[in-house]
Structure 1
């Protein structure tokens, strides 16, 4: 069996930054196509800032469904940001995860975010470089071989 090196906090953080940039570009393209001026306005410029623009809603849905859930459970084993950083999400048996596990992993992100993102930071200080969501779902984020 091949030996995989666990991916730590900072490389995973970089992958999320790349995903964020890509999803912003997708949102901007959608905003241009549907003439959504609110997407490009500064926060606080409008009387009611509680509501997101339609382009933001669409790009957030694309991010969750496609980038986080579908890409992770596909043959790519990770989002475009993870692909760019040469890391992947696997089961503890080092095999591709299922769609159901990918969905569960997404919902476990909410637990990792509470309180103060400590569940994500755990990937920086435990030996196996696992975040709380990885522990809950029995997954690993490792470098590609």
Structure 2
């Protein structure tokens, strides 16, 4: 089996930034289609999320993070754009149940101060806390995949 190169903190951070931009675009599209007045009147600083932001966050989380990660794509659109993928530690595709568990393990990675995410930059295997909890790896895609 050919070795996969682990994806470190910064490439994973870039994938998250791309996903965040896509969530914002999806929220704007939903707001325009639904004529969501709270989306257009919200300054975005300290206010509550609009219905469009909540819907887009939920849809993106379920479809593009959980389902895509367990599918043949093996990652969110941000991970696809960065040419990285999520795999089991034995380098096989993860299951839907593991993808859901990994998504909820993000909460533990976020507490406290996002240190669980930063762990991907500190350890040799480039694993974040949620990867350790769920026995997953984030690695660069092979050429042609």
TM-score (norm 1): 0.93
Q: CA RMSD in A?
A: 1.2
Which residue is 1:43 aligned to?
Answer: 44
Which residue is 2:127 aligned to?
Answer: 130
Which residue is 1:72 aligned to?
Answer: 69
Which residue is 1:96 aligned to?
Answer: 93
Q: Residue 89 of structure 1 aligns to a residue in which SS?
A: strand
User: Structure 1 stretch 14-23 or stretch 36-45: which is displaced more?
Assistant: 36-45
1:51-108, Cα deviation, whole Å (9 max, x unpaired): 4211011101112101210010000000000000000000001000000000000111
User: Structure 1 stretch 55-64 or stretch 135-144: which is displaced more?
Assistant: 55-64
Identify which of 51, 55, 62 aligns with 2:52: 55
TM-score (norm 2): 0.93
Aligned residue pairs, count: 141
User: Structure 1 residue 37: deviation in Å?
Assistant: 2.4
Mapped to 2, the partners of 1:105 and 1:70 lie a distance apart of 12
* 1:21 is the counterpart of 2:21: yes
After the TM superposition, which segments of 4 or more aligned residues of structure 1 sit over 6 Å from their partners?
A: none
User: Structure 1 residue 2: deviation in Å?
Assistant: 1.2
